[in-house]
Amino acid sequence: MDELEAIKVTFFQECEELLADLEGGLLAMQDGNDDGDTVNAVFRAVHSIKGGAGAFGLEPLVRFAHVFETLLDALRSNEIPSTPDLTAVLLRASDVLADHVSAARGLGTVDMAASAAMAAELKIWTDPNAAPAPAAAAPVETSQYVDAAPIVIGADDDGMDDDDLGFDFQPMTISLDAQAEDAAVLEDNVWTVSIRPKSDLYRKANETALLLRELSRLGPVQATLDDSALPALEFLDPEAAYVTWSVRLETEQGEEAIREVFEFVDGDCDLEITRGEAPVADVLASLLNVAAPAPEPETAFETASAPETALIEAPVEALAPVVEAAAPAPVTAPAPAAPPVAANAPAAPAAKPAQIDVPGPGQSVIRVDPERIDHLIDLVGELVINQAMLAQRVGEYGIAPSSNLAMGLDELEQLTRQIQDSVMAIRAQPVKSVFQRMPRLVREVANMTGKQARLVMDGENTEVDKTVIERLADPITHMLRNAIDHGLESPEERKAAGKNPEGVVRLAALHRSGRIVIEVQDDGKGINRERVLSIAVKKGLISPDLTLTDEEIDNLIFLPGFSTADKISDVSGRGVGMDVVKRSVQALGGRISITSRPGLGSTFTLSLPLTLAVLDGMVVDVAGETLVIPLACIVESLRPKAEEIRPLGPTGSVLAVRDSFVPLIDVGLTLNYRTTSPPATDGVVLLVEGEDGSRAALVADAIHGQRQVVIKSLEQNYQQVEGVAAATILGDGRVALILDVDAVINLRRRGPPLPSDPTLIAAE
Q: Are strands 453-458 and 503-512 parallel, antiparallel or unpaired?
A: parallel
What is the spatial distance between Cα 383 and Cα 499, in angstroms, rounded to a whole number? 57
Pick one of 121, 164, 460, 715: the residue that binds another protein (CB under 8 A).
164
Q: What angle do CA 336, 338, 341 make, to 5 degrees?
A: 120
**155 binds another protein, rule: CB under 8 A:** yes
CB distance 504 to 600 below 8 Å: no
Q: Which is nearer to another protein, 356 or 754 (CB)?
A: 356
Q: Which is nearer to another protein, 52 or 683 (CB)?
A: 52
Cβ-proximal residues to 133 (8 Å cutoff; 6+ apart), any chain: none
**366 binds another protein, rule: CB under 8 A:** no
Stretch touching another protein by CB under 8 A, among 229-237, 357-365, 445-453, 478-486: 357-365
What is the spatial distance between Cα 163 and Cα 149, in angstroms, rounded to a whole number? 28
How is 371-400 classified by DSSP, letter by letter? HHHHHHHHHHHHHHHHHHHHHHHHHHTT--
**225 binds another protein, rule: CB under 8 A:** no
Q: Which is nearer to another protein, 54 or 381 (CB)?
A: 54
**339 binds another protein, rule: CB under 8 A:** yes
**367 binds another protein, rule: CB under 8 A:** no
Pick one of 230, 333, 472, 686: the residue that binds another protein (CB under 8 A).
333
What is the spatial distance between Cα 27 and Cα 202, in angstroms, rounded to a whole number? 46
- From residue 467, give the alpha-carbon distance in Å to each of 417, 510, 707: 20, 17, 24
User: Shortest Cβ distance from residue 49 to another protein (Å)?
Assistant: 9
Q: Which is nearer to another protein, 14 or 621 (CB)?
A: 14
Considering only residues 578 to 607 of the shown chain, the ones binding another protein according to CB under 8 A are none
What 651-656 contacts at long range (C-beta under 8 Å, 24+ apart), as own/partner pairs, is: 653/680, 655/680, 655/685, 655/697
User: Shortest Cβ distance from residue 168 to another protein (Å)?
Assistant: 12
- From residue 643, give the alpha-carbon distance in Å to each of 389, 398, 702: 40, 38, 21
Site string (501-540) toward another protein, x via CB under 8 A: ----------------------------------------
Pick one of 203, 471, 583, 712: the residue that binds another protein (CB under 8 A).
203
Pick one of 168, 170, 204, 317: the residue that binds another protein (CB under 8 A).
204
Half-sphere exposure of 5 (CA within 13 A, CB side): 2
Q: Determine the residue type at 497.
A: A
CB distance 595 to 603 below 8 Å: yes
User: Shortest Cβ distance from residue 133 to another protein (Å)?
Assistant: 16
Pick one of 80, 114, 149, 761: the residue that binds another protein (CB under 8 A).
149
Stretch touching another protein by CB under 8 A, among 110-118, 328-336, 392-400, 484-492: 328-336
What is the spatial distance between Cα 632 and Cα 591, in angstroms, rounded to a whole number? 15
137 in helix, strand or coil? helix
What is the spatial distance between Cα 140 and Cα 146, in angstroms, rounded to a whole number? 10
Stretch touching another protein by CB under 8 A, among 248-256, 358-366, 370-378, 656-664: 358-366
CB distance 307 to 228 below 8 Å: no
Please choose, from the candidates 288, 272, 269, 270, the residue with its C-alpha nearest in 3D space to the C-alpha of residue 204.
269
What is the spatial distance between Cα 7 and Cα 116, in angstroms, rounded to a whole number? 29
Site string (698-737) toward another protein, x via CB under 8 A: ----------------------------------------
Site string (632-671) toward another protein, x via CB under 8 A: ----------------------------------------
Q: What HEC string does 541-575 produce? A: CCCCCCCCCHHHHHHHHHCCCCCCCCCCCCCCCCC
User: Which residues, in sequence order, are bridge partners of residue 686?
Assistant: 637, 698
User: Shortest Cβ distance from residue 112 to another protein (Å)?
Assistant: 23
Stretch touching another protein by CB under 8 A, among 197-205, 532-540, 703-711, 722-730: 197-205
Q: What angle do CA 104, 8, 106 make, to 5 degrees?
A: 25
Pick one of 305, 332, 637, 713: the residue that binds another protein (CB under 8 A).
332
Q: Are strands 735-739 and 724-729 parallel, antiparallel or unpaired?
A: antiparallel
Stretch touching another protein by CB under 8 A, among 91-99, 203-211, 435-443, 592-600: 203-211
**126 binds another protein, rule: CB under 8 A:** no
CA dihedral for 348, 352, 353, 355, sign (positive or negative): negative
Considering only residues 3 to 62 of the shown chain, the ones binding another protein according to CB under 8 A are 3-4, 6-7, 10-11, 13-14, 40-41, 43-44, 47-48, 50-52, 54-55
Q: Which is nearer to another protein, 360 or 751 (CB)?
A: 360
Pick one of 128, 129, 131, 151: the residue that binds another protein (CB under 8 A).
151
**264 binds another protein, rule: CB under 8 A:** yes
What is the spatial distance between Cα 179 and Cα 688, in angstroms, rounded to a whole number? 104
Pick one of 131, 148, 183, 184: the residue that binds another protein (CB under 8 A).
148
How is 433-460 classified by DSSP, letter by letter? HHHTTHHHHHHHHHHHHT--EEEEEE-T
Q: Which is nearer to another protein, 164 or 182 (CB)?
A: 164
Pick one of 361, 398, 693, 733: the residue that binds another protein (CB under 8 A).
361
* # residues near another protein by CB under 8 A: 73
Q: Which is nearer to another protein, 161 or 369 (CB)?
A: 161
User: Shortest Cβ distance from residue 357 to another protein (Å)?
Assistant: 6
User: Shortest Cβ distance from residue 151 to another protein (Å)?
Assistant: 6
DSSP count for the chain of H helices, then E strands: 28, 22
Query: What element of type H or E holds 606?
Result: strand 601-609
User: Shortest Cβ distance from residue 170 to another protein (Å)?
Assistant: 17
Q: Which is nearer to another protein, 30 or 206 (CB)?
A: 206
Q: Which is nearer to another protein, 124 or 205 (CB)?
A: 205
Pick one of 210, 476, 480, 606: the residue that binds another protein (CB under 8 A).
210
**209 binds another protein, rule: CB under 8 A:** yes
CB count, 10 Å around CB of 86?
18
What is the spatial distance between Cα 439 and Cα 441, in angstroms, rounded to a whole number? 5
Stretch touching another protein by CB under 8 A, among 349-357, 470-478, 510-518, 736-744: 349-357
**256 binds another protein, rule: CB under 8 A:** no
**161 binds another protein, rule: CB under 8 A:** yes
Q: In Å, how far from its chain's centre is CA 245? A: 53
Length of the chain: 764
**208 binds another protein, rule: CB under 8 A:** no
User: Shortest Cβ distance from residue 83 to another protein (Å)?
Assistant: 24
What is the spatial distance between Cα 598 and Cα 593, in angstroms, rounded to a whole number? 16
CB distance 271 to 187 below 8 Å: no
CA dihedral for 294, 295, 301, 307, sign (positive or negative): negative
**331 binds another protein, rule: CB under 8 A:** yes
**415 binds another protein, rule: CB under 8 A:** no
**163 binds another protein, rule: CB under 8 A:** yes
Considering only residues 556 to 575 of the shown chain, the ones binding another protein according to CB under 8 A are none
**253 binds another protein, rule: CB under 8 A:** no
User: Shortest Cβ distance from residue 214 to another protein (Å)?
Assistant: 6
Q: Which is nearer to another protein, 357 or 643 (CB)?
A: 357
Pick one of 347, 368, 405, 546: the residue that binds another protein (CB under 8 A).
347
**228 binds another protein, rule: CB under 8 A:** no
